[in-house]
Structure 1
Amino acid sequence: MNWKNEVDKRKGTIVKDTQSFLQIESVLDEKTVSKQAPFGEKIREAYDWLLHKAKQEGFKVKDHDGYAAHIEWGTGEEIVGILCHIDVVPGGDDWTSPAFNAEIRDEKIYARGALDDKGPTMACYYALKILKDAGIETGKRVRLIIGTDEESQWRCVDHYFKHEEMPSLGFAPDADFPIIYAEKGICDFIYETKLTSNTGLVRSFHSGHRLNMVPDRAVAKLDIKQVENTSKLRNLFHQYLVHNDCKGSLNIRDSNVELTLNGFSAHGMEPEDGVNAGLLLAGFLIKLPLNIEEKNFITPLVAMFLKDSRGENIDIAYSDEQLGDLTINIGQMMYEQGSESKIGINLRYPEGASFDVIKRSLDDHFQAYGYVGDTRVHETPHAMDKDHELVKILSKVYEEETGEQAELLAIGGGTYARALNAGVAFGPLFPGQKDVIHQADEYISIKHLLAMTVIYTRAVYELAKR
């Protein structure tokens, strides 16, 4: 069967459904969490949208309490798993069109989640639909497993695999083509302390939406009574912005001097691809007269992490030839005078680096400033045998469908592939394609959406056939 022809026949429907799916703002929302919506109402809305569509179109669907579900096709004892996620990071600022409009410009669909991971999820869904509609007989069941908390703590797949059997093999369409066979270890830390002083210069400081995103905006509110000369402060801030080639503003609002600094968002797996607004603003504030609690918040940000995403300043730097450098992304920074302060870290480390040594160094350095750490999520490094049947089949599919060699890659990102006993990441980003995941104006080109649908259709057929 000519899979490309089958995909091309459905081009209009694939594009329209992808737009509709992307227009649901499926961001974690703790304020609307309920028993029916464990990660908030909008994630539940996107979840229901997809499951309802699958039921209408004749698939077997099983919902596990709103945490995760699977859409099943085929027969057989063994299971092929395709692990996708429908939750996305917040839209953020500086979009050309609203982040959830899913506007088409220049044959590209612009929306948060277009590449990560709702666009590829629709491509995989249509791969199953094309095979089902064609009446293909299989020797294995295929499950499109739908996660809802990938961008946070992976509570979705943890819940799912407490109730369902593990697929014999599978892939996650959530990284790069050709094939990702190895991934770094990933850990999220929160360091926090209580604040007792109700006086001082800094009333509040906020930067960052998610630990796995480079913060693109930071806002500090200063007590205007503690600012000796507003004009001088304005000039100093302007000079600092020019020197660091970034944008920002100083505004007087009520009794506050509000400093805003704009950076550039990127995926936390490579902080150097972005500009961390929070760290840069801390770099300015450290020049001002601060009390001890303010210094204990600002100083570690600057001394430990400003212009150092590799851990060199705290002696934890490590590099691996295939997986690359250990990286540290300071994804959230919060200070509320008289209340509390938190610093959130997304760590990624290659095989060979000692997690215990890394954690001990972070704990010791933060403890010197009165901060106590908590490990929120920790996933150890993941790697598949390069000679595994799964790798060979997907390599063959990729090479025959693209005409290019299926190079095996290792990345700093973390995908659901590590939740499988035998899993790799497979797409959606093609070699040479610009990586705009977690950035403003994230998009998926319609050409690439259709191309990956062809590849996924062929891959599922080869993995599940008799």
Structure 2
Amino acid sequence: MKYQDAIIHDLTQLVAIPSVRGEAVEGMPFGKAPAEALNRVLQMAADMGFTTKNVGNYAGHAEYGEGNEVAAVVAHMDVVPAGEGWDTDPFTLTRKGNLYYGRGTADDKGAAVVALYCLKALKDENIQSKRRLRVIFGAGEETASNDLEMYLKSEQMPVMAFTPDSEYGICNREKGIMRLAVSSREHSSAVVREFSAGTVVNAVPAKAKAVVMCTDEVLARLQSAASRMEGDFSFEKTEDGTEITSIGKASHAMQPQEGFNAATHLMKLLGEIFSEEELGGLISFVNRNIGTELHGESLGVYVSDEESGPLTLNLGLAGIYDSSASVGIDIRYPVTAKGKDIFASIAEKALQYGLETTLSQENKPLFLPESSPFITLLQDAYAAVTGKPAELYATGGGTYARAFEGRAVAFGPFFPDEPDRRLHNTNENIDIDRFMVHAQVCLEAMYRMLTQ
């Protein structure tokens, strides 16, 4: 693609902005850095000659073409926290061979820049339009915010849209997403003084720490149990007892089997030595009802369907301190299941431990039928570039497609035979050669959306 150098140039600028959600300030609902990234990409679009609009720093767009209808490609400019363990500076685009490393390269700044340059390619060729085509840039996707909800309050609903925030073929089924907190108003453990894990609820925590009050004899028992258990634990004596560190492996909450949960394995270790009375209600609830399971079996919420597969459950956050104790849980449930039944079951079990369950977010499942003309359009675009069919698939991931009332799907940017690009993990990267093939598919799809 002749725009490759320019894409890398602009991606370098965007990766350098650590657009993790921060404290809201006036006119910047997700903080300064996401707003900066959004305004930077909109300025890039304006410099290309596009009409642009920023809707309250929630989201914005670049637009080309004429017509009463709108079609759209939707990407996001915010990122998850960098986390630990990078081999490069996460906010400096770094090339190693064909790979470009940096937070946001794969999720989702790389795809956002490619979509913008596809729009530029159509403009440069003066392609005549049947409808207007927008690239929409959101600023709060990673925290499941109301960015597109606020955008669509004032902007026209597209008749068709895709988000390059998943993989090929076409994701026409997205599991329901439920995020909840199980908490206690007071810290009830006699031995656990502190427990902390995770940075976001939608990622498997790669690190957890617990400060426990214990004698040398109990410490020796903990170390012995750790040597027999799955996990990577280290121990450091403190004035009050021992600090235990658990090291796991991060992964996206939609595929918890790809990670190793440092928090639940550390709680399991504590449960090997201390009684439930000593650990308190919250850790006891987790050990008995969640443990290291990934599908909610012991919690009584396991469900699966042919369309989208099994429910997945991730304990992504844990915080136990002097005056409070809570865990954050991310659940992805099948398209035929009912979120309210899942929540009710969890709340009932938590109540038995004196715990309160709060629903912080629920996104209903997405299901766009195979017979949709838009599905055919995308399948034809994919086949025209790759010579292969675009299979339909389901995901536990949550994308912007849900915001468009049955008019959108996830489509790209990664191909089925590509290795893990470490989304939400350390050393996030793109293979530039494969990404330029995605750019061709994206351009073909956008051309058809503009003209058909």
Q: TM-score, normalised by structure 2?
A: 0.95
Over 3 Å counting, the alpha-carbon distance change for 1:344 and 1:412 in structure 2 is: same
Q: Please state if 1:67 is matched with 2:58.
A: yes
Matched, 1:102 2:79: no
Name the CA shift for 1:293/1:50 in 2 (closer, same or farther; >3 Å): farther
Identity within the alignment, %:
32
Match of 1:24 in 2: 17
For residues 158 and 242 of structure 1, the distance between their equivalents in structure 2, rounded to whole angstroms, comes to 49
The aligned residue for residue 33 of structure 2 is 42
Structure 1 counterpart SS, 2:298: helix
2:438 is aligned, of 452, 456, 465, to: 452
Structure 1: state its 5+ residue gaps. 1-6
- AA partner of residue 24 (structure 1): I
Read off the aligned partner of 1:456 and give its amino acid letter. Answer: C
**Deviations 1:159-208 (CA, angstroms, capped at 9, x unpaired):** 111111210111011111011111111111112221166x8322211111
Distance 1:220 1:196, change over 3 A: closer
Equivalent-residue separation in structure 2 for 1:258 and 1:314 (angstroms): 29
Corresponding residue for residue 353 of structure 1: 337
Correspondence 1:82 to 2:68: no
| In 1: Cα distance, 2:69 partner to 2:227 partner | 60
Q: 1:278 aligns with which of 263, 267, 283?
A: 263
What is the letter of the counterpart of residue 373 of structure 2? E
Residue pair 1:187, 1:346 contacting (<8 A) in 2 also: yes
Do residues 413 (structure 1) and 397 (structure 2) align? yes
With over 3 angstroms needed to count, the CA separation of the structure-2 counterparts of 1:98 and 1:248, relative to structure 1, is: farther
Q: Partner of 1:326 in structure 2?
A: 311
Q: Structure 1, residues 47-101: CA drift from partner, whole Å, max 9, x if none?
A: 1211111112211111111111111111111100111111111111222113222
Helix, strand or coil at the partner of 1:98: coil
Partner in structure 2 of residue 111 of structure 1: 102
Equivalent of 2:191 in 177, 201, 205: 201
Work out the CA distance in 2 between the residues paired with 1:363 and 1:351. Answer: 21
Matched, 1:380 2:326: no
TM-score (normalizing by structure 1): 0.92
Whole-Å Cα distance in 1 between the matches of residues 60 and 355 of structure 2? 39
Q: Give the length in aligned residue pairs.
A: 450
Q: Greater shift after overlay, 348-357 or 141-150?
A: 348-357
Contact 1:201 1:290 in 2 (8 A): no
Evaluate the alpha carbon distance shift between residue 75 and residue 133 of structure 1 in structure 2; reply closer, same or farther with a 3 A threshold: same
Is 1:402 the counterpart of 2:386? The answer is yes
Equivalent residue number for residue 220 of structure 1: 210
Say whether 1:335 aligns with 2:328: no
Asked if 2 retains the 8 angstrom alpha-carbon contact of 1:127 and 1:456, the reply is: yes
Structure 1 residue 40, shift from structure 2 partner = 1.4
Q: Alpha-carbon deviations, 1:80-131, whole Å to 9, x = none? A: 0111111111111222113222211121111222211111111111111111
Residue from 288, 291, 294 that aligns with 1:303: 288
Superposed CA deviations along residues 303-360 of structure 1, whole A, max 9, x for unmatched, are 11222111110222111123110111111111002x1111111111112223222111
Match of 1:189 among 174, 180, 195: 180
